[in-house]
Amino acid sequence: MRWLSRDYAHLWHPFTAADEWEQQAENRVIERGEGVWLIDTDGQRFLDGTASLWCNILGHQHPALDAAIQTQLGRIAHTTMLGLTHPGAVEHAERLCALTGLDRVFYSDSGSTAVEVALKMAFQACQQRGEARRTRFAALSEAYHGDTVGSVSLGGIELFHSLYRPLLFEAVRIPSPERAEAQEEQACLRAAEVLFAAHGSELAALVVEPLVQGAAGLRLHSPAFLDRLCRMAKQAGAYVVFDEVATGFGRLGTMFAMDQVEERPDFLCLAKAITGGYLPLAATVTTEAVYDCFRGPYTDYRTFFHGHTYTGNPLAVAAALATLYVIHDTSLLAALPQRIALLHEELARLQHPCIAEHRHIGMMAGVVLRQPDGEPFPAEQRIGHRVALATRRHGAIVRNLGDTVMVMPPLVIEAAETRALMQAVGAAIVDVLG
Ligand SMILES: *Cc1c(COP(=O)(O)O)cnc(C)c1O
């Protein structure tokens, strides 16, 4: 336990309650990974049921990804994209454009920055198109777009975002349905119509997580709902931004969530699985029409004055390119319908008086825990958190969002491993709730 006591002395963990962290017996020190397994310093193996926070799609120590990074390391680890370019970025950008039908790739290094970049680009494009009034953004209730101040402004999760309100700009908040049910969606669309009528001419963009609001605990909406919302935004003259940080690269069974809808976004934000879950990289992908708003003589100052030091890092881009090759060469998407069906089946097999709901879309599953009478558990009981920790005793790592236990394995997970993962969650629920 020497690593843990040293950790407690100096580390500060994201989204982690300090006192709880220092007292939890279930803390583990992860030293290695192999495929869908994480291995701790005691040699114990755990199924990676969070895909290392939703980003590992191909497994750990993937030979092709390891080799691509090693090859790149033999050339150069980092060179700037400010005023220079490199072959990996050129090739990866070409491929992203071919895959998305969009035209321009701006790299950064996290999902939050990908969203931040889209916000600033959309705003500046409006300004430079002569539409100075378009200074606002529409976002959904319960949205999550990252943790920087701009992306937090778009966020609608009370627990994560409300404290920061005094620091934030105010989004036009469109109610989002909790489930893809017609009646609920109709009510949200009627509210959206009213909001677009009142604020449409002030909007630079509508920003949405297409088809699933993951961080809200898997709130789902239908493709038809999303298409309607996009058309409202476009009719109002606003851009559409899809935040596919969680859904990109196969998570929903298609390469992107947008492949399941008719409307096309003007901006696509990608991160998480873009490098297979290996290295930090993000991309904001947009249209030539947007890029054209930034052209002109230098002294018109239409340049996008934004960039991060490690933008387009060659090692990360090498991992990203290898990820695209592996997805293609192994026909990963073709294998997904079967894996998705099994994940949903195994989820449905979990039955307990405190399981109020099974939520799922693609390779994302959520178990919603409530008291048998349907009331939420008191927050101080930390039920979701305790179930997530108890799952470790049964050989799997998962995380909770409130009292929703989330299961998001790497996309390469085999049938036996999926079963073991869901059984671990089921056993943990019994451990904590009897
Ligand atoms: C994770 C996530 C982000 C933030 O990405 P980071 O890399 O953690 O900054 C933004 N949007 C969505 C939908 C996400 O799931």
66-329 is a CATH 3.40.640.10 domain: yes
**Is the whole-model pTM more than 0.95?**
yes
Instruction: Give the pLDDT confidence of 198-223 residue by residue, as tens digits.
Output: 999 999 999 999 999 999 999 999 99
The reply to whether ligand 1 has any atom less than 6 angstroms from the CB of 243 is yes
Q: Which atom of ligand 1 is nearest to the CA of 214?
A: 15
The reply to whether ligand 1 has any atom less than 6 angstroms from the CB of 214 is yes
User: What is the residue extent of each domain of the chain?
Assistant: 2-62+331-433, 66-329
Banded pLDDT at 162 (limits 50, 70, 90): confident
The reply to whether ligand 1 has any atom less than 6 angstroms from the CB of 52 is no
Task: For the beta carbon of residue 404, count every other beta carbon within 10 angstroms.
Answer: 22
The CATH superfamily assigned to 2-62+331-433 is Aspartate Aminotransferase, domain 1 (3.90.1150.10)
Q: Are 29 and 41 in contact (CB under 8 A)?
A: yes
Q: Residue 310 corresponds to which amino acid?
A: Y
The reply to whether ligand 1 has any atom less than 6 angstroms from the CB of 275 is no
* H-state helical runs in 350-411: 383-391
Banded pLDDT at 128 (limits 50, 70, 90): very high
Query: 203-241 burial by CB neighbour count: b if 16+ within 10 A, else e?
Result: bbbbbbbbbbbbbbbbbbbbbebbebbbebbeebebbbb
Q: How far, in Å, from the CA of 190 to the mean position of ligand 1?
A: 28
* Cα(211)–Cα(188) distance, integer angstroms: 14
Instruction: Give the pLDDT confidence of 39-59 residue by residue, as tens digits.
Output: 999 999 999 999 999 999 999
Write out the two tokens for 302. 């239409």
The 3-class secondary structure across 173-223, one letter per residue, is EECCCCCCCHHHHHHHHHHHHHHHHHHHHHEEEEEECCCEECCCCCEECCH
Check if 2-62+331-433 and 66-329 are the same fold.
no
Among the listed ranges 7-16, 157-166, 331-340, 390-399, which one has the minimum average pLDDT value?
157-166
Q: Rounded mean pLDDT of the chain?
A: 97
pLDDT at 108 over 90: yes
Instruction: Give the pLDDT confidence of 268-299 residue by residue, as tens digits.
Output: 999 999 999 999 999 999 999 999 999 999 99
Please name the residue whose Cα sits nearest to atom 15 of ligand 1. 246
Banded pLDDT at 394 (limits 50, 70, 90): very high
What number is the average pLDDT over the span 84-105? Answer: 98
Q: How far, in Å, from the CA of 139 to the mean position of ligand 1?
A: 15
